[in-house]
Structure 1
Amino acid sequence: MTTEQNMVSRVIPVDPFDLVIFGATGDLAQRKILPGLFRRHVAGQMPTDARVIGAARSDLSSAEFRAMARETIAAHVDPALQDAALLEDFLSRLDYVALDVQAGTGWEALRSLVRPDVVQAFYFSVAPVLFGDLAEGLQAQGIAGPGARIVVEKPFGRDLASAQALNATLAAHFEESQIYRIDHYLGKETVQNLMAVRFANILFEPLWNAQYIDHVQITVAETVGVGGRGAYYDRSGALRDMVQNHMMQLLCLIAMEPPWHFDPDAVRDEKLKVIRALQPVGRGDIVRGQYLAGGGGPGYLEDAGNPSSDTESYIALRVHVANWRWKGTPFYLRTGKRLRARTSEIAITFKEPPHSIFDDARGWRENVLVIRLQPNEGINLKVMIKEPGPGGMRLVQVPLDMSFATALGAEGADMPDAYERLIMDVIRGNQTLFMRGDEVEAAWAWTDPIIAGWQARGDRPQPYDAGSSGPEDALMLMHRDGRRWREIRE
């Protein structure tokens, strides 16, 4: 086994735990949480006395819940990992409680199952309106011990006021050190490698500033529409659904100062400074869009079931960080539905050399560091070299490409899913990859005026063709600055 493969395959078991999944029959638990836990079991990371307790309103027995888990693992886990003996062992760790938090039933049964002498984790895979009731119930019923941890999913509020109210509700029952606000983007291997590339290599950090970086592009493009999420999505839109949380976190990791240590609060302190340094976004720095019908699919208005909707399915922004490191370097963010390809990437474009010694200046292209989040996670650095062959010094741009699946060997091809990694971090008590309450509130404080501005003006999103790169005005957002968006492609 090579060194690289050994690095990927090394697994450190966690302490014994009880993980309670509220909303265990829901989509997230069935698609991500339970399959992820099974993969961690196959990897040998779950101790022999770890247990998973499902809780939901459905009137199921533990045997019926195990049968449901068997089906979802069969559907969402690579068949090569579905060893029969390991599956039976994993299913034997599952229990289930029928619990209705609003009716106040099922708490006693849950209390009888949760052990006080192991790590206790409670995953709120439910609507945010139930977060407060669950937090209160866990304390009032004496289920959560002093070291218990709760995991809460987005959306964490829909504006600053609601986020503050939700933070206050959770803080009434749990300490900030016990609250894990999950953003699965931060669990992606490449996102974490962004920090390693910056802070573990002297090569990049001295260049990581406005003197050498021309601009940064962050793209999260999807080929699917809002589909069955139409009613929910129409109340949020691309800014609330993607920019305020996922893309904001990516921007913070790129722009933040080096923390004194890879420590939860040290990292989050630096991210918070970035959010607070974001300049207000003017009207000319935003483009919003809605996809039209095409490619065999309906348009946004049909998907949302709201023919007069002014909610955006696409947004592009030009953002500036007002500090010494980034003075004059713009960050361009874009995300949208029904675009040309499914891709998520961060592209850092460096400035041109101050003087070229070569006659073939036409062949020059910028150095670009591309961090691909999906698909084909990896890092790509575009550099200039001499084109092979006689005939003078002709320059050509080539990529130094590192696909994680290739570079880390065959075992690296099946890297842990973001949810697997983050759930294990909860058990370890490591909050580095989770949002702190003041981070969430600072992000909303920056986002709210943007929304208020277009609501006050009555701005409507621009239509764009399904399968395109977005509205034409998004191209102009870059062209006015003498720059171009990177091509959206897999």
Structure 2
Amino acid sequence: MAAPQPTQAPAAPLDMVIFGGAGDLSVRKLLPALYMAHLHHTLPESTRIHALGRQAWDRAAFTQFVDDKVRGFIDPKALDDAAWKGFLDRLGYVCLDATQANDFTALGQALQPGSDRVYYLATAPTLFTAICGNLHGAGLIDERSRVVLEKPLGHDLASARAINDEVGRYFTEPQTFRIDHYLGKETVQNMMVLRFGNTIFEPLWRSPYIKSVQITVAEAVGVGSRAGFYDGTGAMRDMVQNHLLQLLCIVAMEPPVSLDPDAVRDEKLKVLRSLRPMTVADVARDTVRGQYTAGASNGDKAVGYHQEANVPADSTTETFVALRAHINNWRWANVPIFLRTGKRMAERRSEIVIEFADVPYTIFPDAPRQPVNRLMIRLQPEEHVQLQMMAKEPGSGMRLRPVSLDLDLESAFSVRRAEAYERLLMDVIKGRLTHFMRRDELEAAWSWVEPILDAWGNLNEKPRAYTAGSWGPAASSALMAREGSAWAEEA
């Protein structure tokens, strides 16, 4: 008679709690991502989603709100009536003021007994400490609880440390998920495989074989309904301090010893700590601040930043940043790193361009005068990898022109590719920290960015104007030209 097999304890139910559950991020990203996970059966069956907000709604009013507002942010081809009804059945709503400790009693009553709990703080960072303190006071945090913190985490280094200290009183570092949705993009995660799963590029992934690196995150939209928040933040805090520096870490890091979260994040931290600090003179020479003026975007008229609702007429907040950075280590010595981001630019585009060094001597006098070898990694709107090289045109003679080897991820793989927020939310549920920022990473990024912000204040120069629908101020092109390079759309 076979020995009885030990029984496995059933998995605990899961409560996903979204502070700011009726806010813009929840409507546009979080709830659509959770629906897609529900549709494809990757969301645990026992999951209940609790939206928290100050609106005096009951559950029926909230589900009607979701039905009215969230469906428009889901691919119509993914909308299935039965799945949508099943998703709505998972939803709950609690009317709660995050600053009022007494309101958290109602939240505790809504949670499933003995559940694992994920608290997603889709609110202003100024509320993070109050939320965590009130969760603790209500006895709603245990060793299995997790907290997700949205960016920007703080306004400067001191405020980031203060938030980290306060959240750290209630959640350990392994329980804390500082989210940057760019780290959930398929192509960004493919960078790890591209670099460390192949031998083709690694011998050349260094100085002097790389001439320059450029990272662009361009948005065609303006500040829209976020104007009140954005004017106190600006492009440097909103995009460079987190998204662009995280992308730079993936590009520039050394090979980690494994995919263990701390092994990967240790190498990213080394990159951030190796960034050359910028003096006031460096900032004046190597950074460009811009602010969009009236123009056209996607064929429609677009107002200037000063004409946006809730923007002061004399605001000097930057909506565009371009800068040249350097990494002080052997791999990247003398390789300029160009970072660029902006709103109301010519198109929505996020990409990484690795420009390899020119050939030492060309025997082809009629070769085009342009970058010969470039690796272009497009993150959005479509995701693909393209390697550009020179080839001979058919026919007599030696006429050269650039050709590309393309990897279109959508056509190369037949499986569905989850969007960034869906992928990262599943990582949170499974406790996988690799694609989330550690505290020392965040603070190292602020340590590099803050002197640039201070220098801008000391220089007291207004942002350079650029027309909505353009690629930013002309000075950003001049920044590249000084190194004999050009932005990808100009090359």
One fold, TM greater than 0.5? Answer: yes
* TM-score, reference length from structure 2: 0.92
Give 1:174's aligned residue.
171
Corresponding pairs, count: 472
The secondary structure found in structure 2 opposite 1:105 is helix
Q: Root-mean-square deviation (CA), in Å?
A: 1.8
Give 2:232's aligned residue.
235
Work out whether 1:383 is the aligned partner of 2:392: no
| Deviates further, 174-183 or 395-404 | 395-404
Give 1:335's aligned residue.
341
Cα drift, residue 77 of structure 1: 1.4
- Alpha-carbon spacing, 1:309–1:488, altered in 2? closer, same or farther (3 Å): farther
- 1:372-401 per-position Cα deviation (integer Å, ceiling 9, x unaligned): 011111111112222122x12322211111
* Gap runs ≥5 in structure 2: 1-10
Cα drift, residue 113 of structure 1: 2.9
Give 1:319's aligned residue.
325
Choose the corresponding residue for 1:225, options 206, 222, 225.
222
Aligned residue type for 1:379: V
Cα drift, residue 115 of structure 1: 3.3
CA contact (8 A) 1:364 1:397 kept: no
Choose the corresponding residue for 2:185, options 188, 202, 205.
188
- 1:448-475 per-position Cα deviation (integer Å, ceiling 9, x unaligned): 1111112112121111122222111111
- Identical-pair percentage: 48
Work out whether 1:396 is the aligned partner of 2:401: yes
Cα drift, residue 105 of structure 1: 3.4
CA contact (8 A) 2:368 2:401 kept: no
Aligned residue type for 1:291: Y
In 2, the alpha carbon distance for the partners of 1:285 and 1:129 equals: 32
Cα drift, residue 116 of structure 1: 5.1
In 2, the alpha carbon distance for the partners of 1:477 and 1:80 equals: 44
Alignment of 1:374-453 (within 5 A): 374-389=380-395, 391-409=396-414, 411-412=415-416, 415-453=417-455
In 2, the alpha carbon distance for the partners of 1:97 and 1:433 equals: 30
Aligned residue type for 1:424: M
Aligned residue type for 1:273: K
CA contact (8 A) 1:226 1:337 kept: yes
- 1:91-142 per-position Cα deviation (integer Å, ceiling 9, x unaligned): 2222222122223233222212323534311111111111111111111211
In 2, the alpha carbon distance for the partners of 1:488 and 1:64 equals: 51
In 2, the alpha carbon distance for the partners of 1:64 and 1:348 equals: 50
Choose the corresponding residue for 2:107, options 95, 107, 110.
110
Cα drift, residue 363 of structure 1: 6.8
Give 1:286's aligned residue.
287
In 2, the alpha carbon distance for the partners of 1:362 and 1:129 equals: 54
Alignment of 1:16-415 (within 5 A): 16-115=13-112, 117-281=114-278, 282=282, 283-295=284-296, 296-303=301-308, 305-358=311-364, 360-362=366-368, 365-389=371-395, 391-409=396-414, 411-412=415-416, 415=417
In 2, the alpha carbon distance for the partners of 1:289 and 1:99 equals: 39
In 2, the alpha carbon distance for the partners of 1:307 and 1:59 equals: 35
Give 1:5's aligned residue.
none
In 2, the alpha carbon distance for the partners of 1:465 and 1:53 equals: 43
CA contact (8 A) 1:55 1:99 kept: yes
Give 1:11's aligned residue.
none
Aligned residue type for 2:351: E
CA contact (8 A) 2:355 2:371 kept: no
CA contact (8 A) 1:122 1:151 kept: yes
Give 1:6's aligned residue.
none
* Gap runs ≥5 in structure 1: 1-13
In 2, the alpha carbon distance for the partners of 1:291 and 1:398 equals: 35
The secondary structure found in structure 1 opposite 2:302 is coil
- 1:235-272 per-position Cα deviation (integer Å, ceiling 9, x unaligned): 11111111011001001110111111111111111111
Aligned residue type for 2:239: M
- Alpha-carbon spacing, 1:299–1:129, altered in 2? closer, same or farther (3 Å): same
Aligned residue type for 1:225: G
The secondary structure found in structure 2 opposite 1:262 is coil
- 1:69-101 per-position Cα deviation (integer Å, ceiling 9, x unaligned): 223342121222222221222222222221222
CA contact (8 A) 2:101 2:137 kept: no
CA contact (8 A) 2:20 2:122 kept: yes
- 1:175-234 per-position Cα deviation (integer Å, ceiling 9, x unaligned): 111111111111111111111111111111121111211100111112222233222211
Give 1:468's aligned residue.
470
Cα drift, residue 488 of structure 1: 7.1
| Deviates further, 293-302 or 449-458 | 293-302
The secondary structure found in structure 1 opposite 2:424 is helix
Aligned residue type for 1:312: E
* TM-score, reference length from structure 1: 0.92
CA contact (8 A) 1:363 1:396 kept: no
Cα drift, residue 65 of structure 1: 2.0
CA contact (8 A) 2:101 2:138 kept: no
In 2, the alpha carbon distance for the partners of 1:362 and 1:139 equals: 65
In 2, the alpha carbon distance for the partners of 1:488 and 1:119 equals: 51
In 1, the alpha carbon distance for the partners of 2:222 and 2:55 equals: 30
The secondary structure found in structure 2 opposite 1:107 is helix
